[in-house]
């Protein structure tokens, strides 16, 4: 007998398929092969042409004639090029053949993050492990906006780095017989999301933080929280990411056995 697939399960399967497609991007997070922090002296980076260094404000790439071309916005780099990535922003994209070199700035430090579409981690990817969808993990919460948005600072998976998040309110909800409250990040224009941990973190799910995007709250503040859509941050897939950890106020004391699991551990679903 063929099992009947509910609309809820179909919608979750579509979300899961979109997440797997995200992970398979040729120059996405699974294509990373290195994260190289730069000092103030010229140095070579394994596999990359030229010499690289950084000072307090910029990165400098020096490319000698006759080496394999590096390009930025389609222009070939020659001599010394000054690169100024924004703090915490997406990196400047320097191309080296099929590879992408992201020049990033994090907590005042500069690094090169190398993407390669031939990365073994990308070739080995099959699917993101996840708990089976379960309607009991869909709850109704209530969003309460702050009068004034505030900045919440958290640590990162890389020692010494910080992340600064704009927090716009809180959401309260019930699980079982207990009420919980989490700080909400983002805004209603670009989207709200949660960064949290729970009793599964570091066991069946990634330990640093889990992310859940929220729909726009209703006029009275009610909002649907579907923990089945809880997603991994990039650091769950690679050691070459600089993701935040969850703030202390967003560490739930209960197990949320829903959403994506740690892709670098084996779990029985």
Average pLDDT of 250-264? 96
Which residue, among 224, 230, 223, 222, has the nearest Cα to 255 in the 3D structure?
Answer: 230
CA distance 50 to 47: 10
Which residue, among 229, 267, 263, has the nearest Cα to 126 in the 3D structure?
Answer: 263
Predicted pLDDT at 265: 81
Q: What is the pLDDT of residues 69-95, one digit of tens each?
A: 899 999 999 899 999 999 999 999 999
Three-state DSSP string of 66-135: CCCCCEECCEECCEEEEECCCECCCCEEEEECCEEEEEEEECCEEEEEEECCCCHHHHCCCCCCECCCCH
Predicted pLDDT at 269: 45
Residue 64 reports pLDDT greater than 50: yes
Q: What is the pLDDT of residues 101-114, one digit of tens each?
A: 999 999 999 999 99
Which of 57-71, 131-145, 213-227 is predicted with the least confidence, judged by mean pLDDT? 57-71
Q: Are 233 and 206 in contact (CB under 8 A)?
A: yes
Strand partners, 87: 105
Average pLDDT of 52-68? 88
Strand partners, 138: 226
CA distance 10 to 174: 26
| Top-confidence residue, 4 or 250 | 250
Which residue, among 17, 263, 251, 6, has the nearest Cα to 138 in the 3D structure?
Answer: 6
| Top-confidence residue, 268 or 205 | 205
Which of 139-143, 176-180, 245-249 is predicted with the least confidence, judged by mean pLDDT? 176-180
CA atoms within 13 A on the CB side of 208: 21
| Cα 223 off chain centre by | 23
The distance in angstroms from the start CA to the end CA of the chain is: 22
Residue 231 reports pLDDT greater than 90: yes
Predicted pLDDT at 67: 63
Q: Six-digit token pair at 44? A: 């070579």
Residue 163 reports pLDDT greater than 70: yes
């Amino acid at each position: 007998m063929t099992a009947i697939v509910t609309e809820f399960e179909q919608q979750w399967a579509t979300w899961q398929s979109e997440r797997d497609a995200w992970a398979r991007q040729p120059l996405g997070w699974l294509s990373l092969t290195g994260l190289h922090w730069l000092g103030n002296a010229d140095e070579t980076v394994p596999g990359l042409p030229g010499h690289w260094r950084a000072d307090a404000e910029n990165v400098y790439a020096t490319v000698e004639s006759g080496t394999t071309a590096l390009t930025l916005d389609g222009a070939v780099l020659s001599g010394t090029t000054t690169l100024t990535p924004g703090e915490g922003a997406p990196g400047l994209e320097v191309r080296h053949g099929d590879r992408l070199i992201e020049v990033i700035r994090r907590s005042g430090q500069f690094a090169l993050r190398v993407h390669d579409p031939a990365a073994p981690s990308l070739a080995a990817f099959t699917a993101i492990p996840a708990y089976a969808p379960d309607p009991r993990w869909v709850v109704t919460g209530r969003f309460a906006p702050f009068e004034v948005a505030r900045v919440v600072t958290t640590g990162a998976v890389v020692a010494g780095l910080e992340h600064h998040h704009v927090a716009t309110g809180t959401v309260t909800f019930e699980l079982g017989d207990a009420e919980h409250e989490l700080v909400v990040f983002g805004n209603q224009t670009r989207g709200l999301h949660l960064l949290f941990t729970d009793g599964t973190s570091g066991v069946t799910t990634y330990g640093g933080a889990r992310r859940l995007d929220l729909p726009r709250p209703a006029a009275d503040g009610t909002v649907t929280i579907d923990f089945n859509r809880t997603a991994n941050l990039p650091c769950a897939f690679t050691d070459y990411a600089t993701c935040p950890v969850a703030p202390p106020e967003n560490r739930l004391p209960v197990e949320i056995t829903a959403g994506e699991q740690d892709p670098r551990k084996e779990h029985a679903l």
